[in-house]
Amino acid sequence: MTQRIVIENAAIATVDAQDTEYATGYVVIAGNRVESLGAGTAPAELDDVVRRIDATGHLITPGLVNTHHHFYQWITRGLATDHNLFDWLVALYPVWARIDEQMVRAAAQGSLAMMARGGVTTAMDHHYVFPKGSGDLSGAIIGAARDMGVRFTLARGSMDRSEKDGGLPPDFAVETLEGALAATEETVGQHHDASFDAMTQIAVAPCSPFSVSTELLSQGAELARRLGVRLHTHGSETVEEEKFCHELFGMGPTDYFESTGWLGEDVWMAHCVHMNDSDIDAFARTKTGVAHCPSSNARLAAGIARVPDMLAAGVPVGLGVDGTASNESGELHTELRNALLINRLGAHREAALNARQALRLGTFGGAQVLGRAREIGSLEPGKLADLVLWRLDTLAHASIADPVTALVFGAAAPVTASFVNGRQIVENGRLLHADEDAIARSTREEAQRLARIAAQG
């Protein structure tokens, strides 16, 4: 017997290929799938309806998809607030190099809780700091996501270029080439689920050109393709990175990535702020994806990514929170607004992005980037039931006639309900399967413990 949930009387933005919207409509969830949706009221003859939700005053959208994050940074928020990327990394790597399993679990809970409360149904974490003797960090992160009920991709990161090799991380904070590859393969073998309704997937994710060797990049790409998983890294984030690549490799970041096998439809990169026309053409030609992180890019003064040009060229683009040491709010729904506003400061001005393009970045665009566009990212029959009910009839939004405009241009909208895989994880802005107050206490305690350890050197 398949149990059904019927949601009625809501505005609906499906974010399907036609951008279908309903001023007043319904969604029927059957098990973990969207069974049907449309204008008006749900079919009267439905069997096994266990719940009916009157969503008057709400907009239903696909769940938000986060495409770039560093959960562990939740316990180092508010530090190095006036630094550019390289100076920020130099200031914080010695702190991050002291993390352990208990800290990482608490930080993952904090990061996930903040996103889930704000409409994220699919999260990802790019974790690349594995100090010796720090415990099972990947297992702690995956366990936190499972407990929260969020769909999740762990990008198992790595670094093997430390200060002695011209990189930025301290020598004791990196892995060996062989150790990183072996641990990554083990993580894929233990945790990756390739099925349609997978709740946990793994990607291969060496950190960045300035913290990994060419060998780790190229062999990481070979490993990912042998195992049939996706690839993720940071790319073209700052002018300093571009200079670094030219000095060290004799070419810009995009050409360097192509030389190591790191362009392709199974690859997505974070930031991509400093891209010229040929870089964008290369990403479009290879269908390499981009995780656009507008708040972090602004926080670190990295620049404005050419998102309108990427979209026009056919580059898959999603949104990312980025680590909360460079985006202290840790919320993806505010990135819809920030992506739109920041891109309008660029060359395209008011034509850069509109509200519906911003919503698409945060939903279907993210699903594309994570390789899951068949399963999530839009509301269509047969897709997984990952969806959000945003309340738009309160003081903050009630006088804005168009619900998508209200969601994107307006204040952060309250989440009345969020469903992942057909299971509700948020009700009236509160998590149903986690204690937010307990998480707040543990993240504060672990942040203080890390600060004490780092201060001792």
Averages of pLDDT over runs of 10 residues in the chain (457 residues) are 94 98 98 98 93 98 98 97 90 93 98 98 97 95 98 97 81 90 98 98 94 96 98 91 87 96 98 96 98 96 96 98 96 97 97 98 98 98 98 98 98 98 98 97 98 93
Q: What's residue 54's pLDDT?
A: 98
Q: pTM of the full predicted structure? A: 0.97
CA atoms within 13 A on the CB side of 70: 28
Q: Using H for helix, E for strand and C for coil, what is the string for 321-375? A: CCCCCCCCCCCCHHHHHHHHHHHCCCCCHHHCCCHHHHHHHHHHHHHHHCCCCCC
Q: Going edge to edge, which strands form the sheet with 120-127?
A: 64-65, 120-127, 151-158, 200-206, 230-235, 267-271, 289-292, 317-319
The closest alpha carbon to 131, from 168, 184, 170, 163, belongs to 170
C-alpha to C-alpha distance for 367 and 183, rounded to whole angstroms: 26
The closest alpha carbon to 362, from 120, 155, 125, belongs to 120
Sign of CA dihedral 152, 416, 430, 406: positive
C-alpha to C-alpha distance for 282 and 263, rounded to whole angstroms: 8
115, 123 Cβ separation under 8 angstroms: yes
88 alpha carbon, distance to own chain's centre: 21
Long-range CB pairs of 162-165 (<8 Å, 24+ gap) are 165/213
In sequence order, the 6+-apart residues with CB closer than 8 A to the CB of 75 are 99, 103, 106, 107, 110, 443, 446, 447, 450
CA distances (Å), origin 53, targets 34, 38, 45, 83? 15, 15, 17, 47
Sign of CA dihedral 202, 203, 206, 208: negative
- State the greatest distance between any 2 C-alpha atoms of the chain, in Å, as a whole number: 70
Q: What's residue 398's pLDDT?
A: 98
Q: What's residue 257's pLDDT?
A: 96
Q: What's residue 171's pLDDT?
A: 80
Q: What's residue 241's pLDDT?
A: 81
199, 191 Cβ separation under 8 angstroms: no
Distance between terminal CA atoms of the chain? 59
Phi, psi of 141 (to 5 degrees): -70, -50
C-alpha to C-alpha distance for 275 and 310, rounded to whole angstroms: 9
Q: What's residue 251's pLDDT?
A: 94
Strand 49-54 and strand 317-319: pairing?
unpaired
Q: What's residue 169's pLDDT?
A: 79
